[in-house]
Amino acid sequence: MTHSPTLLFIGDSFFFTPRLLQGVRSELPGLEAVLVGDLSDAMLKVEEQGASSIAAVIFQSSLTRGLLSDGERLALLVDRLPVAFCYGKMSEARYVMAELLRQKRLRDVSIIPLSIPVDVWIATLRSMLCGSMFLPSELAAEAAAMPFAEARRGRVLETTATPPAAEGQRPSERNPGQAVLDKLTARESEVLTLVSRGLNNKLVARELGLSEHTIKLHMHHILRKLGVSNRTGASMWYFAQSK
């Protein structure tokens, strides 16, 4: 029996809501969205359908401690399928990141906040299916500063997004995200805000009274300054800073 490519969501219906799954089915036609309760059920689904019919596996991060502590099972999944961890709380995201760093797997998976608008979340998922990986800028900054010994022990980071400033330290030096925001012009900040609300270039141009060509130039500069490759990445970055 031939199965439609399946997005396998592992978690509960309070986290991956019916509305979210229906949105995925509507916006990603040809893919089936299936929710299972735990990793064991997911592995049964993979065996039943075959790994080639699974488009991606999306985990509720709070339910993945067993998987993350088992390097062999994690490698089995990551080496065969696109994998994402979705989080509601930043503490969960930091635990996932620490474990992935410990196993040198951070570059192989996506870590996606569930707090962003559904359309942005689905656009992020679409890009992931095309081979992109996502890590919110706040986590990326912490990963870059995280001592390897701490990651090796798998400890959750206790630092906040904006740690206390040392005497004489400027705000932009305490918060990497703010330092990047400071590089944007006032107009670029306006464009980024509107793009993150889902407006295309034509609508952004109409909103700001500018030409569509000018908006494209602004977007080019914004993507370069944020260090992302597309509008979805820019929206993810924006919402990570807004948390």
Task: Please tell me the distance from the alpha carbon of residue 183 to that of residue 17, in angstroms, as a whole number.
Answer: 37
* The two three-digit tokens of residue 192, written as one number: 């980024």
Torsion over CA: 118, 139, 222, 109 (sign): negative
Amino acid 87: pLDDT: 92
Q: In angstroms, rounded to a whole number, what is the distance separating the alpha carbons of residues 177 and 216?
A: 23
CA distance 20 to 119: 10
What confidence score (pLDDT) does residue 127 get? 80
**Which pLDDT does position 86 carry in this prediction?**
93
Mean pLDDT for each consecutive 10-residue tract of the chain (243 residues)? 78 90 87 85 74 85 79 79 89 88 83 84 82 76 56 36 41 55 84 81 88 89 83 74 57
Three-state DSSP at 49 gives helix
Q: Which of 46, 95, 89, 94 lies closest to 66, judged by CA?
A: 95
The whole-angstrom separation of Cα 172 and Cα 141 is: 13
pLDDT the model gives residue 85 = 92
One-letter amino acid for residue 134 of the chain: F
pLDDT for res 241: 66
Q: 112 by DSSP, 3-state: which?
A: strand
What residues have CB less than 8 Å from 202, skipping those under 6 apart? Answer: 212
* Domain architecture of the chain: domains with CATH: 6-152 (3.40.50.2300), 171-242 (1.10.10.10)
- Torsion of Cα atoms, 156 then 158 then 163 then 167, to 10°: -120
CA angle, residues 69, 162, 239, in degrees to nearest 5: 75
Give pLDDT, residue 165.
42
